[in-house]
Structure 1
Amino acid sequence: MKTPIILGIESSCDDTSAAIIQGKKILSNVVSTQKIHQNYGGVVPELASRAHLQNIVPVIHQAIQKANINKKAIDAISFTRGPGLLGSLLVGTSFAKSLSMSLNIPLIEVNHMQGHIFAHFIEDELNNNISFPFICLTVSGGHTQIVKVSNYFEMEVLGETLDDAAGEAFDKIGKLIGLEYPAGPMIDKLSKEGNPNKFRFPLPKLDGIKFSFSGIKTSVLYFLQKELAKNPDFIKLNQNDICASVQKTIIAALIDKLKLTIQKTGIKNVAIAGGVSANLELRKEIKKLESELACKTFIPKFEYTTDNAAMIAVVGSIKYEHNQFTDLKTIATARYKI
């Protein structure tokens, strides 16, 4: 029996991506990142959707070429239905539906957050054979959640942020200290040369599995205003220490709630996913759980942390196996719960 070939399309924010997967083996994964948003310090939805319109055809064409297949070999199309920016999602959804009609093949809708989690099921040289049940910290610029994954189709959000996502806090604090968007990777880099104990920034004490990251932005803002009034070169002289101190605070909050979740559920399979899972300090702290709490940890390859179509394709492959298709009446949705 032929192993199905799935085309995955991802367009939830500012990355246009297409991937080809056969079974759970990635044949190609093409991502076009929109640089224009760096000029504005964040993603501009209107510009993002226009860039998707320009990029989606060449990106899909390139993914098919790299996979060395004919488009007629594709058995189904999976696409990100949501959550995300509605204009961006509309581009991917509309194109997926049109291509599905022209090739007369099934359509599969995918939740973007499920895609991040299921990136762990992509077959590659780092595959660690993650097994159910597991808990996954999904942390990005738009989301911060801890999800219990019981099987492919049974997932429960155990806790999430009450306001900003962790990645959003990194980016907005980065803007305060003069870093280009997206600032998270640069904060991670500069932190290596900084003292994480130099400055202290508070986070709210929340009961249960809840996060809040809006307060740290305000705390850093007032701190910088106070210090700059005394020395206009304060940020320039202390940038690495500021980055390291901010990173330590945010990661400590993530790890504390993850430990609480492990203790409450008793689940020892622990995964991370999403753009912030590329953070080297977070990866190091997650690995410590193996010795501290006797956990087995699962960390995705860097190329599967940020938004990409490979993760959408692997969910599509799993849904194809279980005959979970959608019809042409489906519509993009900015809010789409797991």
Structure 2
Amino acid sequence: MLLSIETSCDETAVALLDPTSFESDLGGIVRYEAISSQAELHRPYGGVVPELAARNHTEVLGPMVEEALGQTGLSLADICAVAVTVGPGLKGCLLVGTTFAKSLAYRLGVPLIPVNHLLGHLAACDLRPPSERPAFPRVTLLVSGGHTALLHTENERRLPTALAQTRDDAAGEAFDKTATLLGLPYPGGPALSHLAASGDPAAFELPRGVAADPASFSFSGFKTAVRRIVEELATAHALDTRRSDVAASVERAIVETLIDKTRFHLQSVPARSLILTGGVAANKLLRTAMSELARSAGVDFHTPPLVHCTDNAAMIGAEALQIRSRKSAAFASWEPRATPTHFLGPDVSATLGVRPRWPIEEGWNIPQ
């Protein structure tokens, strides 16, 4: 079994994956997975407090691994490799997971596979049997709390290339900031979407980012415009009656911005699959719009199950198994120093570090 660990932000997650099933159509790739959310811990602060997040990871990670083994009837001896997110993310949180994974892999004498969190999101759709996975070339819209990127992947042995990336603030941040301005509880995205369902999406006109720059997603000016609207409504004592209209207008503007940029690039690169992934992929309006875009473009639409859209360890395991299947040099093993030419790459486990900022284009470069 492959044990995978994810602690990049405010979810502690572990999973056990079967490497043999990953290569066959028999299914059963994910033998076990669990996620411990810190939403209640951070709710009083209206956002993630890095120090509290790291401490909570320290408290729950070990017991979660024990629970995973207990629930599956497995032992440490059944673990053939350990995969862990080493970036991007919050440094303290990444260090908790990476230190635990390094210690366990060293104790067991099994390979340690460092994984880029963003590549993990891209691998979430590959937790299906091979015959059901999205065909290449792929265009993927990755939308999470801190990242918005449109990516093109030619095949499974090539890193994705960025068609458009976040210039300043991500779409998820725009959702969260609006929720805060409207006094909605943390986490703000789901609460905003719920409120938007009863509002008028045409009530307020909002900017659509940098239309002149197809390679950028920008929501900083968007957030400023939303704040101005909220302040004007509050001054006029009209905010309480117009909250849902603000929410609906914001949701529509963000979704249209993402769809317009995706449509533009989908016409310029070869693609057989259009994928939506990341935490914001749970938004129903965005999922529907992406599905319609794929249909009009004549490509297949894919999105992971909701549990695999948000941060989870199963997707980290999927990327780790792909690293193994590629025999990629992005691999750290506890092979003896006497065999530095191991086909999976050099032994860098003892010096493996974390990388809070790790561009997806460099996702196979091992942080040290």
Give your verdict on TM over 0.5. Answer: yes
Say if 2:205 is the partner of 1:209.
no
Amino acid at match of 1:228: A
Q: Which residue of 1 aligns with 2:7?
A: 11
Q: Which residue of 1 aligns with 2:291?
A: 287
CA deviation vs aligned residue, 1:208-251 (integer Å, no higher than 9, x gap): 231101111111111111121111xx232122221111000001
Amino-acid identity (%): 37
What is the CA distance between 1:115 and its match in structure 2?
Answer: 0.2
Check whether the contact 1:120–1:127 (CA below 8 A) recurs between aligned residues: no
Which residue, out of 254, 257, 261, partners 1:257? 261
Change (3 A) 1:70 1:304: same
Q: Which residue of 2 aligns with 1:278?
A: 282
> What CA distance in whole angstroms lies between the structure 2 residues aligned with 1:127 and 1:46?
43
Summarize the alignment of residues 71-110 of structure 1 with structure 2, pairs less than 5 Å apart: 71-110=76-115
> What CA distance in whole angstroms lies between the structure 1 residues aligned with 2:236 and 2:131?
52
Moved more, 328-337 or 246-255: 328-337
Check whether the contact 1:30–1:62 (CA below 8 A) recurs between aligned residues: no
Check whether the contact 2:135–2:272 (CA below 8 A) recurs between aligned residues: no
> What CA distance in whole angstroms lies between the structure 1 residues aligned with 2:151 and 2:304?
16
CA deviation vs aligned residue, 1:19-73 (integer Å, no higher than 9, x gap): 0000331011110111211111111111111111111111222222333322211
What is the CA distance between 1:290 and its match in structure 2?
Answer: 3.1
Amino acid at match of 1:221: R
Unaligned runs of 5+ in 1: none
Check whether the contact 2:275–2:303 (CA below 8 A) recurs between aligned residues: yes
Check whether the contact 1:144–1:160 (CA below 8 A) recurs between aligned residues: yes
CA deviation vs aligned residue, 1:272-300 (integer Å, no higher than 9, x gap): 11100111110000110133221211111
> What CA distance in whole angstroms lies between the structure 2 residues aligned with 1:253 and 1:172?
17
Moved more, 146-155 or 168-177: 146-155
Q: Which residue of 1 aligns with 2:336?
A: none
Change (3 A) 1:150 1:279: same
Moved more, 66-75 or 213-222: 66-75
Q: Which residue of 1 aligns with 2:235?
A: 229
Q: Which residue of 2 aligns with 1:41?
A: 46
Say if 2:332 is the partner of 1:315.
no
Change (3 A) 1:301 1:29: same
Summarize the alignment of residues 110-149 of structure 1 with structure 2, pairs less than 5 Å apart: 110-123=115-128, 128-149=132-153
Amino acid at match of 2:305: K
Moved more, 12-21 or 190-199: 190-199
Change (3 A) 1:151 1:64: farther
Unaligned runs of 5+ in 2: 23-28, 333-348, 361-368
Change (3 A) 1:146 1:93: same
Q: Which residue of 1 aligns with 2:310?
A: 306
What is the CA distance between 1:110 and its match in structure 2?
Answer: 0.4
> What CA distance in whole angstroms lies between the structure 2 residues aligned with 1:127 and 1:278?
24
Q: Which residue of 1 aligns with 2:342?
A: none
Q: Which 4+ runs in 1 deviate beyond 4 A? A: none
Normalised TM-score (structure 2): 0.87
Q: Which secondary structure state, in structure 2, belongs to the residue aligned with residue 193 of structure 1? A: coil
Moved more, 262-271 or 168-177: 262-271
Check whether the contact 1:26–1:123 (CA below 8 A) recurs between aligned residues: no
Moved more, 253-262 or 186-195: 186-195
What is the CA distance between 1:200 and its match in structure 2?
Answer: 1.5
What is the CA distance between 1:199 and its match in structure 2?
Answer: 1.6
Normalised TM-score (structure 1): 0.94
Q: Which secondary structure state, in structure 2, belongs to the residue aligned with residue 18 of structure 1? A: strand
Q: Which residue of 1 aligns with 2:357?
A: 335
What is the CA distance between 1:319 and its match in structure 2?
Answer: 1.8
Amino acid at match of 1:308: N
What is the CA distance between 1:127 and its match in structure 2?
Answer: 8.1
Moved more, 189-198 or 50-59: 189-198
Change (3 A) 1:67 1:153: farther
How many aligned residue pairs are there? 331
Q: Which residue of 2 aligns with 1:187?
A: 192
Summarize the alignment of residues 18-57 of structure 1 with structure 2, pairs less than 5 Å apart: 18-23=14-19, 24=22, 25-34=29-38, 35-57=40-62
